[in-house]
Structure 1
């Protein structure tokens, strides 16, 4: 499966349609009809790349749910709003809303909005140093630090490492990597990806807790220490 998505929609018919459509488009979807059930699922909050939230939910509106999630987890949001519904878009933007879509929505339009959000997320390079075990990684400067040494990464190496960092402890599909970083999946780009993987393994060889394991026929399983 591909990117993991959280869907919070209390309408059973719409929720089922969206879940099935997104899964047919190679997304992995966890669907909740009640916000409190999601908040109790800590593992799901930590291991998903996007949340689609209905604004009008039982007991807790989508904005309050987003605010609660954001207190512990950084994740982009897309809000579902009813046609003609008056909402506070400024509040949504302050909470970090990445997009809105009106219900009933065309699944194709929702899919396009999701891809645009994920593309922006991949391109949004954090301007801070991230600790990766015995290493430090500055995505904005393309620099990997180990002890007193600094390894200057290429732009593509840094993008690949950032993608893996955002999918820690997960299996990442080769096809998804090639399409996100190179724009398409073909044989020659696949060989280039293998070269980059060899480089990353060499860079991180001094910390055995870090691994980039190949999963035959699928992709790679990434492990960085917490």
Structure 2
């Protein structure tokens, strides 16, 4: 079955180039030229991944991403953008993005990123609860629970915590996790991951026996 891609891009020529390139590689693609159309298409087209331009008429990419996250916490969302300020990248992740691709970009890079996120999204969403100190963690429902308190994690937080748990009491390589989740290990994605590590530390602070240690120049270690 063909994987379905929802592309929201107001540059018509670029949108058509992307559409033709992806369709020639076996994807099914819907091209929306504004944010409003993208939301409508998301509900009817049921895509496997969403590619969003940030600067669009009616609704920008950030707004579209927020609305999609209200409908689906798991679907991968990738931003295409000419913006490159660190704050823009952080804002994108805070609004539900899984990845950024900066314009101009190569089609091969886009396809590699799409395939990477589709592989991650195939993880079994029926995973049982995992014990983590006093916490319970469920990948499928993206929930971290302690006592009667449940915290719903974002998609990227879920993947990051899952990888830390897999390597508990060992070092999780920084470059590996950056490429797995963000698609690259450049300065901007590294800064963004630091923000996510800080968030996860806050979630876990209710159990003092759990720590995330920064191993300088190498990665992170979840100590339980």
Using the size of structure 2 for normalisation, the TM-score is 0.52
Residue 22 of structure 1: aligned partner: 22
1:1-226 to structure 2, matched below 5 A, reads: 2-41=2-41, 42-44=43-45, 47-74=46-73, 75-82=75-82, 84=84, 88-123=88-123, 125-127=125-127
Give the alignment's Cα RMSD to 1 decimal: 2.5
Q: CA deviation at 1:70?
A: 1.2
Contact map agreement 1:82 1:103 (CA 8 A) in 2:
yes
For residues 35 and 53 of structure 2, what CA distance do their matches in structure 1 show? 10
Q: CA deviation at 1:13?
A: 1.0
Q: CA deviation at 1:85?
A: 6.0
Q: CA deviation at 1:29?
A: 0.2
C-alpha change, 1:139 and 1:84, in structure 2 (3 Å) is closer
Cα deviations by residue, 1:92-144 (Å, 9 ceiling, x for unpaired): 22233111101121000000000111111113645469xxxxxxxx997xxxx
User: Rg: which structure is higher?
Assistant: 1
Stretches (4+) displaced over 3 A: 83-87, 124-129
Cα deviations by residue, 1:35-92 (Å, 9 ceiling, x for unpaired): 1112233212xx2110000011113221111001111223210000116566522222
Question: How many residues get paired?
Answer: 130
Contact map agreement 1:5 1:51 (CA 8 A) in 2:
yes
C-alpha change, 1:113 and 1:139, in structure 2 (3 Å) is closer
Q: Which runs of 5+ in 1 are unaligned?
A: 130-137, 141-226
C-alpha change, 1:123 and 1:105, in structure 2 (3 Å) is same
Using the size of structure 1 for normalisation, the TM-score is 0.52
C-alpha change, 1:89 and 1:83, in structure 2 (3 Å) is closer
Contact map agreement 2:79 2:101 (CA 8 A) in 1:
yes
Cα deviations by residue, 1:171-194 (Å, 9 ceiling, x for unpaired): xxxxxxxxxxxxxxxxxxxxxxxx
Contact map agreement 1:83 1:104 (CA 8 A) in 2:
no
